[in-house]
Amino acid sequence: MSHRIDAATIAATHIQREARARAIYAEAQSQITSRLWQAAIGGEGSVTSAVADAPPLARGFEAMLARFDRSSAIVSGPIAQPAVPKQTARVPSDDPAPANIDGLGANERHRTSLEKASVRSGIPAASLASIIDAEAAKGSDGRWNVYSRNPRSSAAGLGQFISGTWVGMAEQAGSFLHSVAQRNGWLCASGKVLPEARAKVLALRYDAEASIQTIADYSRCNLDTLKKCGITVGNSVEEISKTAYLAHYMGPRDAAKFLRGQLDSGRARTLLAAQIGTAKAGRDIAAAGNAADAHRMWLASHVSRNVRPARYVLSGVKATTLQS
């Protein structure tokens, strides 16, 4: 019996080993950075906000990483939806963030849309993929469901945009959705969506290309808003992804208050109840001692568990600074 192994078999074995090594490395990297992120926004054991005494412009993702103890929390719940930022979508620079992306698996069909959205907006493709993975419903094979719908709200599509947010993006000059609405005659002279066109605009939430492009536009606007508030949004794909998701989940105004440790107890209670239900929110608040800390612990765990961009970063590619 011959023990000869041909070159193709050797190559295939090498590729498999390399792929496993990349996956192990990406997961380890994600876990380490996730622990740091949890520490940054306050996990279990961080029931006192250490950010309260920081100068306003010093607060932000990177500053918080240096201030909090390493800790974690495990709480779960659904996802809320933010309000639309009021500024115009930015025209991307001539030197956008890298569009390289890996690890899409069953979602490989979205590669082109993710890369195009990344180049156009300057948001890393891995960040966009991680936001979608956290928001959209998925099949048993991990395939994102473009027809995802939250039965308790109007949230729909890969980005789980509620109706008002989506229409707002269609009315936002410079956005992908605005250009589609203009081409189809769905806007009035003042740039607002015509009442008779509203249903057609909302139906685009179930179009993968429109959803991905709008996630990119919304992320770009939110990060720009945070930067104008003096918040450091981060330089790495991991930081950018989690900060962008935080703003996607809370809206830029609440996200800025949260990152500065200025989210008041009433608002924190409302947000937490929307995520995990009034009864469980009450129990968590009682355990934490106040609503702001309970909300912070839930959010730390939620983002850490669900936003994992490392799985989508192409091996050997170093993330660059987010384009301004």
pLDDT of residue 235: 84
- The enclosing domain of 128 has a CATH number of 1.10.530.10
**184 Cβ contact partners less than 8 Å away, ≥ 6 residues apart:** 197, 200
Residue 39 within a domain: yes
Residues 6+ apart with CB under 8 A from 51: 59, 64, 67, 259, 260, 261
CA dist list (Å): 310 to 40, 56, 111, 170, 307: 18, 30, 16, 31, 9
DSSP at 192: P
pTM (2 d.p.): 0.72
Report the range of poorest mean pLDDT among 32-36, 94-98, 108-112.
94-98
Q: Which domain holds residue 126?
A: 15-312
pLDDT of residue 26: 46
pLDDT the model gives residue 99: 52
Q: Percent of the chain having pLDDT more than 90?
A: 57
**Is 182 among the domain residues?**
yes
Residue 261: inside a domain: yes
CA distance 167 to 177: 9
pLDDT above 70: residue 92: no
Q: Tell me how far apart the terminal alpha carbons of the chain are, to the nearest angstrom.
A: 63
Q: How would DSSP label each residue in 142-156? A: --B-TT-B-TTSS-B
| Minimum mean pLDDT range among 25-29, 41-45, 278-282 | 41-45
Residue 97 in this model has a pLDDT that exceeds 70? no
In this predicted structure, what is the pLDDT of residue 250? 87
- 21 lies in some domain: yes
Q: How far apart are CA 316 and CA 164, in angstroms?
A: 40
The reply to whether 211 falls in a domain is: yes
- Let me know the angle formed at the C-alpha of 321 by 225 and 219, rounded to the nearest 5 degrees: 35
pLDDT of residue 43: 44
Interatomic CA distance for residues 160 and 157, integer angstroms: 5
143 or 249: which leads in pLDDT: 143
Range 78-89 average pLDDT: 36
| Average pLDDT for 228-257 | 91
Instruction: Name 294's Cβ contacts closer than 8 Å, sequence gap at least 6.
Output: 268, 272, 281, 284, 285, 287, 288
